[in-house]
RNA sequence: GCGCCCAUAGCUCAAUUGGAUAGAGUAGCGGACUUCGAAUCCGUUGGUUGGGGGUUCGACUCCCUCUGGGCGCACCA
């Protein structure tokens, strides 16, 4: 596809004292379409040229005259606005989408470099609740977005499968557990036992000692305890796998903390050799005063390990085994200090790749009753949310399209998609309060809206096909000059930019919003224009446009992890 | 006490990372189905971007300060 920015940069730089690359960087998209498709702000030039920006724009406009590919160039205040030749662009863009299909707008800026993404990271023996959805979906979407740009990806579910709480859990199983009940309903039963442990430990502190000893046995790979640990992991994973399947996600690795506990020692040894370790209040720490952080604990007073050390080990393991160009941690903002410390220690160890590590943080999720507390029982299970949305979709399908083929599949695609989409529709960092009504309301800016639009495109394409008409690059673009068509074409051109913005800011919501914008533009076009008409040429042009919209919508939906059913 | 994050229309959120008249959805009101899917579309009401200073051609965006909320401050993860 023609790079029109390049054309502008070349033309402008020939007339002012700026190199083409600098001009290229300055070019922006006016938000109001009446101001053209590209804009070059002249304010910066006013210092060197000692002229008013508006005057510079005016002079430049005259000097440029006509530039190929643009129908009009206009000076407006200090801006020089460029208007694309709509018919030319429509022909070019639609042909490109139809030809490249799901490859459209992709590029290879990643060059095959590996990006490691850690996300979801659920805790064994604890429920998968609504609070885990953000990490899970942001991580998965970022994975797909990186692939879009030619990165290789490696996704890790860094399971919370280690630590003193497993000592507590195993003690509770031994004392009060009912094996059959646990096998029947693993996570809720284990959670009950965990809660009970804390209640009983209030009265009897010796339970805590017993738990600590049990964890030490686990660290020492005591076979009996290890078997119980494994039982908890396996039972929990059955439940988690079911949920990941509903979300359409799988991971390249489920190596959790337990796995990396075997890799800690060499790192600790190296810290010691490098004289980076200090003893403070009985613990082994890395002092981080020089970077304005509190010390990082590497070894506890009692000599046992801590999660910081395991994270340190896992970072090394990942660099060594996957040789990443980027390592992304999708973890809540409550861990911000932890990751600052982690990256700071890596830097102190002379790891240049420390700045290839990135903490992608997000705000806290709470529910109406306040904070999410698994132990306190103030929790909403993710699966309940997914199913509630699916049931609501089922009700709507019953009402609108009861004869829908593959109905059960579609209910899942749309219901689960609604939950996923609303999570990825807003920026990461704000806290938010989860409400069930939000995910069972499907009007307006929602996943089902985008899916509905896609299904509508598919329906049109089926109807056209029945008349021997299918999207083809052989159409007359000058028939697509009505406002709605032009607006769609402009959006189709910007797809790559939207995804790239998401990549650079680690914000999938840019893609989700793009999908809604495109759907909105299409629905307006649909309302204003009969697509399949007696006029064969006109129909051909419009069907080409519909085909292009369908393709890009489907790809955008894929990037934000929702399915694109062809009927709903 | 120190540090990080957040504050935009009644509500939920955007704003091309410093650009032009701050935009959507939702709620309210008024319209559009004998025609390709009304889970749709069109119109309309709604703003001192928490307050105050500063930086500059230009600030929701950057700096300072105050207010209000969230989180974190070594042996839990």
Question: DSSP for A24-72?
Answer: HHH-B--SSGGG-SEEEE-TTHHHHHTS-HHHHHHHHHHHH---TTEEE
Chain centroid to CA A260: 26
The pLDDT score that the predictor gives to residue A529 is 94
What percentage of chain A exceeds 70 in pLDDT?
Answer: 100
- Of the pLDDT bands very low, low, confident and very high (cuts 50, 70, 90), residue A355 is very high
Kindly state the helix (H) or strand (E) to which residue A81 belongs, with its residue range.
strand A79-84
- State phi, psi for A560 to the nearest 5 degrees: -105, 25
Strand B nucleotides, any atom under 7 Å to a protein CB: 3-7, 12-17, 19-21, 24-27, 35-37, 39-42, 57-58, 69-77
Among protein residues, the one whose C-alpha sits closest to the C1' atom of B32 is: A527
* CA–C1' gap, A434 and B10, in angstroms: 20
Q: What is the pLDDT of residue A368?
A: 83
A4 phi and psi angles, rounded to 5 deg? -70, -25
Q: What pLDDT, on the 0 to 100 scale, is given for residue A51?
A: 87
pLDDT of residue A305: 84
Please report the pLDDT score of residue A374 as a whole number: 81
Distance A33 CA to B60 C1' (A): 21
| A28-42, A244-258, A366-380: least confidently modelled range | A366-380
A47: nt with nearest C1' to CA: B57
Report the distance from CA of residue A497 to the C1' of nucleotide B53 in Å, as an integer: 37
CA closest to B73 C1', residue: A294
State the average pLDDT over residues A477-506. Answer: 96
* pLDDT higher than 90, residue A49: no
Interface residues 324-343 of A with strand B (CB < 7 Å): 333-338
How do residues A135-186 score in pLDDT, each as one tens digit? 999 999 999 999 999 999 999 999 999 988 899 999 999 999 988 898 888 8
Cβ within 7 Å of strand B: which of A 76-135?
76-79, 81, 123
Please tell me which residue, A114 or A213, carries the higher pLDDT value.
Answer: A114
**Whole-number average pLDDT of chain A:** 94
The pTM for the full model equals: 0.96
What is the C-alpha to C-alpha distance for residues A448 and A458, in angstroms, rounded to an integer?
Answer: 15
Q: Shortest CA–C1' contact from A509: which nucleotide?
A: B14
Is strand B within 7 Å of residue A291 (CB)?
Answer: no
Q: Which two tokens stand for residue A294?
A: 């509190």
Residue A219: band (very low, low, confident or very high) from pLDDT cuts 50, 70, 90: confident
DSSP H or E segment with residue A440: none
Reported as a single tens digit per residue, the pLDDT across A257-277 is 999 999 999 999 999 999 999
Contacts 24+ apart (CB under 8 A), A190-196: A190/A125, A190/A126, A190/A232, A190/A235, A190/A236, A191/A125, A191/A126, A191/A127, A191/A374, A193/A169, A194/A125, A194/A126, A194/A165, A194/A168, A194/A169, A194/A375, A195/A375, A195/A377, A196/A172
Assign 3-class secondary structure to A520-557: HHHHHHHHHCCCCCCCHHHHHHHHHHHHHHHHHHHHHH
Locate all alpha helices (DSSP H) within A274-381, ordered by sequence.
Answer: 307-322, 336-348
Nucleotide closest to residue A278 (CA–C1'): B74
Say if residue A48 is exposed, middle or buried (CB neighbours under 10 Å; 0-12, 13-18, 19+).
Answer: exposed
DSSP string over A464-519:
HHHTT----S-S-GGG--SHHHHHHHHHHHTHHHHHHHHHHHT-THHHHHHHHHHH
Q: Is the CB of A460 less than 7 A from some atom of nucleic acid strand B?
A: yes
Beta carbons within 10 angstroms of residue A287's beta carbon: 15
Residue A369's pLDDT is what?
Answer: 79
Q: Is the pLDDT of residue A376 over 80?
A: no
CA closest to C1' of B33 belongs to A527
pLDDT digits (tens, 9 = 90+) for A522-549: 999 999 999 999 999 999 999 999 999 9
**Taking 80 as the threshold, does the pLDDT of residue A284 lie above it?**
yes
Q: Stated in angstroms, how far is A37 CA from B18 C1'?
A: 20
Worst-scoring range by mean pLDDT, A237-241, A304-308, A555-559? Answer: A304-308
Structure ipTM:
0.96
pLDDT, position A121:
96
A426 touches strand B (CB under 7 A): yes
Q: How confident is the model at residue A17 (pLDDT cuts 50, 70, 90)?
A: confident
Whether A277 CB is under 7 Å from strand B? no
Average pLDDT, stretch A554-563?
98
Q: What mean pLDDT comes out for the span A420-440?
A: 92
Predicted pLDDT at A129: 93
CA A541/CA A547 separation, integer angstroms: 10
Structure confidence at residue A216 as a pLDDT band (50, 70, 90): confident
Query: pLDDT by residue (tens digit) across A88-143?
Result: 999 999 999 999 999 999 999 999 999 999 999 999 999 999 999 999 999 999 99
Answer whether any strand B atom is within 7 A of the Cβ of A397: yes
Helix axes A223-247, A407-424, angle to 10 degrees: 100
In this predicted structure, what is the pLDDT of residue A286? 97
Q: Region A5-32: what's the mean pLDDT?
A: 91
Tell me whether strands A357-360 and A365-367 are parallel, antiparallel or unpaired. unpaired
How much is the average pLDDT of A438-451? 92
What per-residue confidence (pLDDT) applies to A48?
82
DSSP of A98-122, one letter per residue? HHHGGGTT---TTTT-EEEEE---P
Residue A245 has pLDDT above 80, yes or no: yes
A500 touches strand B (CB under 7 A): no
Q: Does position A317 have pLDDT exceeding 90, yes or no?
A: yes
Instruction: Give A202 or A495, the one with higher predicted confidence.
Output: A495
pLDDT at A18: 87
Cβ of residue A25 lies below 7 Å from strand B: no
Element (H, E) at A274: none
Give the nucleotide with minimal C1' distance to the Cα of A454. B37
Question: Max CA-CA distance within chain A?
Answer: 87
Confidence of residue A498 (pLDDT cuts 50, 70, 90): very high
Give the pLDDT confidence score for residue A447 in this predicted structure. Answer: 96
Residue A514, CB, strand B, below 7 Å = no
């Amino acid at each position: 596809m023609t790079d029109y920015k390049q054309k502008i940069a070349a033309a402008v730089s020939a007339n002012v004292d700026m190199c083409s690359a600098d001009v290229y960087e300055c070019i922006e998209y006016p938000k109001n379409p009446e101001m053209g498709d590209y804009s070059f702000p002249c304010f910066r030039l006013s210092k060197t040229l000692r002229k008013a920006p508006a005057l510079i724009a005016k002079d430049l406009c005259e000097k440029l005259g006509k530039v190929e590919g643009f129908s009009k160039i206009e000076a407006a205040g200090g801006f020089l606005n460029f208007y694309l030749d709509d018919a030319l662009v429509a022909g070019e863009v639609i042909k490109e989408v139809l030809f490249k299909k799901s490859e459209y707008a992709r590029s290879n800026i990643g060059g095959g470099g590996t990006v490691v993404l850690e996300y979801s990271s659920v805790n064994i023996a604890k429920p998968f609740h609504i609070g885990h959805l953000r990490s899970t979906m942001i991580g998965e979407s970022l994975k797909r977005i990186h692939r879009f740009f030619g990165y290789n990806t490696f996704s890790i579910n860094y399971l919370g499968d280690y630590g003193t709480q497993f000592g507590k859990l195993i003690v509770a199983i031994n004392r009060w557990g009912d094996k059959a009940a646990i096998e029947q309903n693993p996570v809720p039963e284990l959670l009950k036992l965990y809660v009970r442990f804390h209640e009983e430990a209030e009265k009897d502190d010796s339970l805590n000692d017993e738990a600590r000893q049990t964890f030490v046995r686990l660290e020492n790979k005591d076979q009996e305890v290890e078997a119980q640990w494994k039982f908890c992991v396996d039972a929990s994973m059955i439940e988690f796998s079911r949920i990941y399947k509903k979300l359409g996600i799988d991971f390249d690795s489920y190596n959790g903390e337990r796995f990396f506990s075997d890799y800690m020692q060499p790192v600790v040894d190296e810290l010691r050799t490098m004289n980076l370790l200090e003893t403070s209040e009985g613990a082994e720490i890395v002092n981080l005063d020089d970077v304005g952080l509190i010390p990082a604990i590497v070894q506890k007073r009692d000599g046992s390990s801590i999660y910081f050390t395991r994270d340190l080990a896992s970072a090394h393991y990942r660099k060594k085994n996957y040789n990443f160009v980027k390592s992304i941690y999708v973890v809540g903002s409550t861990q911000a200090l932890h990751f600052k410390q982690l990256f700071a220690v890596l830097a102190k160890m002379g790891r240049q790749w420390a700045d290839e590590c990135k903490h992608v943080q997000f705000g806290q999720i709470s529910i109406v009753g306040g904070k999410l507390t698994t132990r306190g029982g103030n929790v909403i299970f993710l699966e309940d949310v997914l199913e509630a949305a699916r049931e609501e979709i089922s009700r709507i399908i019953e009402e609108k399209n009861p004869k829908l083929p593959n109905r059960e599949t579609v209910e899942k695609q749309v219901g689960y998609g609604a939950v996923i989409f609303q999570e990825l529709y807003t920026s990461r960092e704000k806290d938010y309060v989860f409400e069930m009504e939000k995910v069972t309301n499907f009007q307006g800016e929602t996943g089902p809206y985008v899916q509905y639009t896609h299904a509508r495109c598919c329906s049109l394409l089926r109807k056209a096909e029945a008349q021997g008409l299918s999207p083809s690059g052989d159409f007359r673009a000058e028939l697509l000059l009505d406002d709605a068509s032009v607006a769609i074409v402009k959006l189709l051109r910007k797809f790559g930019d939207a995804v790239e913005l998401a990549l650079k800011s680690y914000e999938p919501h840019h893609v989700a919003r793009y999908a809604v914008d495109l759907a909105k533009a299409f629905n307006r076009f649909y309302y204003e224009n009969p697509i399949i008409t007696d006029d064969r040429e006109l129909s051909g042009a419009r069907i080409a446009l519909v085909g292009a919209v369908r393709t890009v919508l489907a790809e955008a939906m894929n990037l934000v992890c929702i399915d694109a059913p062809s009927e709903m």
